[in-house]
Structure 1
Amino acid sequence: MTKRYTFLACILIFSLLSSCAQKKESPKMNVQKVKGISKINGVSLVASRDTLFQQNVEPLNELGANYVAIMPFGFIKNLGHPEIFYNQPRQWFGESVQGVAQYVKLLHENEINIMLKPQIWVSRGEFTGLVEMASEEEWLQLEETYRNFIMDFANVAEAENVAIFCIGTELEKFIEHRPEYWRTLINEVKNVYKGKLTYAANWDEYKRVPFWDALDFIGVDAYFPVSESKTPTIDEVKMGWERWKTELKAISEKENKKILFAEYGYRSVDFSGKEPWKSDREMNAINLEAQSNSLDGLYQTLWNEEWFAGGFLWKWFIVHERAGGEVDTQFSPQNKPAQTVIAKYYSANKY
């Protein structure tokens, strides 16, 4: 009898230990399901040649960012070339399939959600909206190579539990000439990826995109002109946004989708709100106040609107301590007064 009870006791103990082990090994819940996001407070993370480390993520936590856009690039030789090169050994680690997965994992560990946004870079920085083929044969080749590019990263997005996947960025001529292709591509992406979808339309393109009904967000690269002033005041920026705010709200209601700024931002230069899309080196008069006021006016105008989902600031560099600064004229707000403005709104609307 004693041996029998000893044997039963051992079985009971073994069962309890197994149960505890199973609970410890259960997979961590996807970050996008854990956090109740009120607004997408995002940054566009510039890929690096190096691995992402925790010290690179801490400034994002301090900023109050709850989303990061990861942007692996594919490259084409010119506006009429049909072949896209991507995930190449010569590319930076952060633009590779392996690098994207590493970035996503570490950001998820910090409870930061991801929008994966593969996009094209044309040689010499030519505008992607003008990519256009000269023949049917070349269009078909572009379609095939673009499909491969997008589907490879759609599979990464699904495998890594990415919250939002962006199917393209500022490709107006491509969409205009091949609208059926884009609907087919969206369906193919949906077959492998179960998260939210968007497309990043340029600020003067988004009203003509024909497939918003098939996506979850109306994505806009929001470089709307908002002020003619050298140093716009916050009130001037708010007034400059009123026209665009009315237009954006109307499109949101028409499509029954929220507006997502797939990109937004201002440079720290004179007249930063006049033509915010410009990145040329001729604009070199540093104006930190212009950048801060332009961002503050945008947040005050849009961030509390129900139809507005939030957005991704252009742009944020991984090595924070070497980025931006008070002599920098480009878009990054890092180590500038604008960073304080962003943190104020992001921290207040993080959850």
Structure 2
Amino acid sequence: MLLKFMKLFISICFAAVILSSCDAQKPTPPELIKGISFVATRDTINDAVVQPIKNYNANYVSVHPYGFMRDMENPAVNYNSSRQWWGERLAGTKSTIDIFHSKGLRVMLKPQIWIGRGVYTGTIEMPDESRWDTLAATYERFIMDHAQVAEQTNTEIFCIGTELESFVTARPEYWNDLVKKIRSVYKGKLTYAGNWDSYKHVPFWDQMDYIGIDAYFPVSDQKTPDVATAKAGWSSWMDELSSLSRKHNKKILFAEYGYTSADYAGKEPWKSADETQESNEQAQQQLLQAQYDTIWNQEWFAGGFLWKHHAEQGRRGFDKLFTPQGKIGATTVSEAYSRF
């Protein structure tokens, strides 16, 4: 009887060890990127600027230094100028990243270009080869200088471009070479922010660590869509996103996402609200809730960066802007980020 008991005991112990070993070998799912896009500041920042970001229960922040292109006739990308805000210059960018890191937040560095008079970057077309060469050379310097900053600061993710559809299409070999040059100086994760209506046509996703999308997908034509309506509006986009993720074996990262706090915010989410739209915090809140409920639990999803948070109050305040600051949407973001 004692011998039978000992054999049973040994068998149970052996099974427990095997099960424990199997559990230990299961890969831990990667932590979702719960990010906030941070607007560069005029002057130096301090610890007080960081706390509102953490109040969203964010674990990442996206830092956006800008380079400026006058127009298609004058395509040189100008940056790190004394006329720019502190947070847009190289030293300010580096200091901003260091401060966020010191407070436990991880960072995506996302340098972007702005074209005079608000011309959309996705429609860049040069009138001749010489101007294409000027754009290519100055954009490379702009990106490589920021790649150096990303490496020096141990920045976790570097975004190599934002919504540059026609530039990517016109110069595919240039982008392949640029990726190699970036990889030679920066050892972290890479992404590119393709726009919601063109991300499928980016030719270098296999060279990225994440498929980055500025996720301003239209989901409802209603003035104030309820959560169920907005969730239904995501259905066709989810099929596209999951299919692309499988094709490249990469997770989808929303390099930007968000909604204005205005009427019809889900109709053309990439647009700022104009004078024909009334302030509507409920629309923003319900659209955000629908996205969290629908997208953020998908296995192909890596997370995203909410557009956006201001450390400084603008002249007109935040009414109807993308930021949820001081609005009911802020609670929705912080609750969702806590849940995930």
Q: What percent of counterpart residues are identical?
A: 50
Distance 1:190 1:230, change over 3 A: same
**CA offsets, 1:92-135, max 9 Å, x none?**
00001100111111100111000000000011111000111111
Equivalent residue for 1:234, pick from 205, 227, 231? 227
- Consecutive unaligned residues in structure 2, runs of 5 or more: 1-28
Structure 1 length-normalised TM: 0.86
Q: Secondary structure at the match of 1:77?
A: strand
The one-letter code matched in structure 2 to 1:343 is: S
The one-letter code matched in structure 2 to 1:162 is: T
How far 1:326 moved relative to its partner? 9.3
Structure-2 residue corresponding to 1:251: 244
Whether 1:339 aligns to 2:326 is: no
How far 1:138 moved relative to its partner? 1.3
Q: How does 1:316-335 map to 2 (within 5 A)?
A: 316-319=309-312, 322=313, 328-335=319-326
Distance 1:294 1:181, change over 3 A: same
Structure-2 separation of matches of 1:315 and 1:283: 22
**CA offsets, 1:183-241, max 9 Å, x none?**
00000000000000000010001000000011101000000000011100000111000
Whether 1:124 aligns to 2:117 is: yes
How far 1:79 moved relative to its partner? 3.4
Equivalent residue for 2:155, pick from 142, 158, 162? 162
Equivalent residue for 2:166, pick from 170, 173, 180? 173
- Cα root mean square deviation, aligned: 1.7
Q: Which moved more, 1:327-336 or 1:40-49?
A: 327-336
**CA offsets, 1:142-199, max 9 Å, x none?**
1100000000000000000000000000001101110000000000000000000000
Q: Secondary structure at the match of 2:245?
A: helix
Q: Secondary structure at the match of 2:108?
A: strand
Equivalent residue for 1:208, pick from 189, 201, 211? 201
Structure-2 residue corresponding to 1:91: 84
Whether 1:187 aligns to 2:180 is: yes
Structure-1 separation of matches of 2:181 and 2:47: 35
Distance 1:280 1:289, change over 3 A: closer
Q: How does 1:1-351 map to 2 (within 5 A)?
A: 38-319=31-312, 322=313, 328-349=319-340
Aligned length: 313
How far 1:282 moved relative to its partner? 3.0
**CA offsets, 1:26-59, max 9 Å, x none?**
xxxxxxxxxx962111111000111121111111
Q: Which moved more, 1:195-204 or 1:326-335?
A: 326-335
The one-letter code matched in structure 2 to 1:219 is: G
How far 1:342 moved relative to its partner? 0.1
Structure-2 separation of matches of 1:183 and 1:81: 25
Distance 1:215 1:326, change over 3 A: same
- On the 8 A contact 1:288/1:326 being kept in 2, the answer is no
Structure-2 separation of matches of 1:129 and 1:244: 21
Distance 1:142 1:258, change over 3 A: same
- On the 8 A contact 1:269/1:283 being kept in 2, the answer is no
Distance 1:198 1:324, change over 3 A: farther
How far 1:284 moved relative to its partner? 3.3
Structure-2 separation of matches of 1:73 and 1:44: 13
